[in-house]
Amino acid sequence: MGAWGVGSLDNDGSQDWLTDFGEFGASAATDILDACSDAIASGYVESDIGTGVIALAEVVAAALGKPDEDLADQLEDPVENHKDALLDVDNVQARTSEALEALMADAETSELYDLWAEADELDDWLTQMKTLRARLDAA
């Protein structure tokens, strides 16, 4: 069984995306944002895309000076290595914030929303996501 928790990087999907970001930098950000935009347009964001978006949001917030203090050590190297290219991605902050909003919409359009509702942890997950989005938007 893989890792699964309400924290931003408490699951395998987010960790996998963070590994990709460490290796590929800004192209990993562009890829997950494009995948999420396509999923939103189709009406449903699957969990693998959602967990990548959440990891991206943590990375963007950290790059903009608003890291989650509990994740700072884990994000330090990948953010420092790719910060400039990441922040050069067109509208990366706004697009990431919009993608997070889509994940928190409802079970009809977001698999993560549905999974957390089924696990009776939706309120905890939404609190984490709202805090993340607030840090991202405040940066």
CA distances from 109 to 23, 36, 45, 130 (A): 30, 12, 6, 17
- What average pLDDT does the segment 102-107 reach? 96
Tell me, what's the pLDDT at 139?
84
Q: What confidence tens digit (pLDDT) does each residue in 29-88 have?
A: 999 999 999 999 999 999 999 999 999 999 999 999 999 999 989 999 999 999 999 999
Pair 55, 22: CB distance under 8 Å: no
Q: Is pLDDT of 1 > 50?
A: no
| End-to-end alpha carbon distance in the chain | 35
Q: Is residue 110 helix, strand or coil?
A: strand
% of the chain beyond a pLDDT of 70: 98
Residue 123, class by beta-carbon neighbours within 10 Å (0-12 exposed, 13-18 middle, 19+ buried)? exposed
> What are the boundaries of each domain within the chain?
12-138
Q: What is the pTM of this model?
A: 0.95
